[in-house]
């Protein structure tokens, strides 16, 4: 038995397989990414707490003697166990290494892959159909997000797919559809472009904001950033049914039919949902103009969905 194995056994450290599962779950809870295992990183303490490690287990270190250099190198046993578990997961293609993630996101992080995502869902007994709604990133999804964000903005944009897409049953959505959702809500900083609402569920596993298609999916609208808008549930519905639309300068235009709503309609308690959306209100937009909604998509919405 090696010196490292003897130390792990003597201190009754967690089994590496258990640490691998804990890492996958930690990645899931942290939206698919965690930083490298530095001594001051929160994730190192968080997983140790989950295992109930005592002070000795957390502070133990290994000593390696380098004869040529005549020096002793000390390394944290717990950090080493975490790294070996992560390294094993990367060999199984369940996570991407920080060196690989760096090329994609410019951040040195461990990131779930789609295979790792599926493994976590199985561990936590979460149906695969919930994948679309979860904020968890994967390496493959992040590649789609990057492609959508960095695509060159077309002058004459066609917001329709040429061939009708097959809509899968049981919500087993494609990477492109999930990538679209992530790209849109990230671009709008997880806020509704109309009311600015930004909130997630208590367990942080879902955001209130949704990625709305300007030209709907139902008529073959594209999963492109220029055909997307981040809206809360309420304003997403109101936009989809035509209560309001957007002008080419991103000003909200409300349907004149609002004036004919019966008394008490369009209210949540004493809050009137259309009152804050006066016709000179400009929506909140992403930081980069290249990913603003395209006027061709907004024109189609005004002419085909909006009621005035």
Concatenated DSSP letters of 150-198? HSPPPSS---B-SSPPPPPGGG---HHHHHHHHHHHHHTTTS-TTT---
Task: Spell out the residues 6+ positions from residue 201 whose beta carbon is closer than 8 angstroms to its own.
Answer: 207
Instruction: Look at residue 132 in the predicted model and tell me its pLDDT.
Output: 87
Q: Measured on CA atoms in the order 129, 47, 186, 252, is the torsion positive or negative?
A: positive
Average pLDDT over residues 26-44: 87
Instruction: Look at residue 169 in the predicted model and tell me its pLDDT.
Output: 39
Give the pTM: 0.86
Bridge partner list, 33 = 111
Is the pLDDT at 170 greater than 50? The verdict is no
Q: Measured on CA atoms in the order 238, 242, 247, 253, is the torsion positive or negative?
A: negative
Instruction: Look at residue 171 in the predicted model and tell me its pLDDT.
Output: 38
* Distance separating alpha carbons of residues 141 and 136, to the nearest angstrom: 9
More confident residue, 120 or 272: 120
Instruction: Look at residue 1 in the predicted model and tell me its pLDDT.
Output: 63
How large is the greatest C-alpha to C-alpha distance in the chain, in angstroms? 87
What is the tens place of the pLDDT at every residue in 44-95? 999 999 999 999 999 998 876 555 655 667 788 999 999 999 999 999 999 9
Place of tokens 């804050």: 276
DSSP state of 263: T
């Amino acid at each position: 038995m090696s010196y490292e194995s003897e130390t792990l056994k003597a201190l009754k450290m967690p089994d590496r397989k258990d640490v691998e599962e804990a890492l996958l779950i930690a990645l899931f809870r942290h939206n698919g990414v965690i930083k490298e295992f530095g001594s001051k990183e929160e994730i190192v303490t968080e997983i140790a707490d989950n295992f109930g490690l005592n002070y000795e287990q957390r502070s133990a270190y290994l000593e390696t003697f380098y004869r040529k250099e005549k020096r002793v190198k000390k390394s944290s046993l717990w950090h080493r166990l975490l790294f070996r578990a992560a390294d094993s997961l990367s060999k199984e293609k369940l996570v991407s290494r920080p060196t690989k993630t760096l090329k994609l996101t410019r951040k040195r992080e461990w990131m779930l892959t789609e295979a790792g995502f599926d493994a976590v869902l199985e561990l936590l007994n979460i149906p695969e159909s919930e994948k679309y709604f979860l904020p968890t990133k994967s390496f493959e999804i992040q590649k789609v997000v990057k492609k959508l964000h960095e695509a060159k903005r077309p002058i004459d944009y066609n917001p329709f797919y040429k061939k009708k897409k097959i809509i899968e049953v049981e919500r087993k959505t494609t990477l492109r559809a999930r990538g679209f959702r992530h790209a849109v809500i990230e671009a709008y900083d997880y806020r509704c472009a109309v009311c600015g609402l930004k909130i997630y569920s208590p367990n942080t596993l879902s955001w209130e904001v949704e990625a709305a298609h300007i030209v709907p999916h139902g008529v073959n609208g594209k999963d492109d950033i220029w055909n997307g808008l981040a809206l809360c549930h309420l304003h997403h519905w109101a936009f989809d049914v035509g209560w309001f639309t957007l002008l080419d300068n991103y000003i909200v235009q409300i349907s004149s039919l609002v004036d004919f709503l019966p008394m008490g309609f369009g209210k949540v308690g004493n809050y009137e949902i259309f009152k804050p959306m006066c016709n000179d209100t400009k929506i909140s937009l992403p930081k980069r103009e290249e990913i603003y909604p395209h006027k061709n998509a907004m024109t189609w919405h005004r002419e085909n969905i909006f009621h005035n």
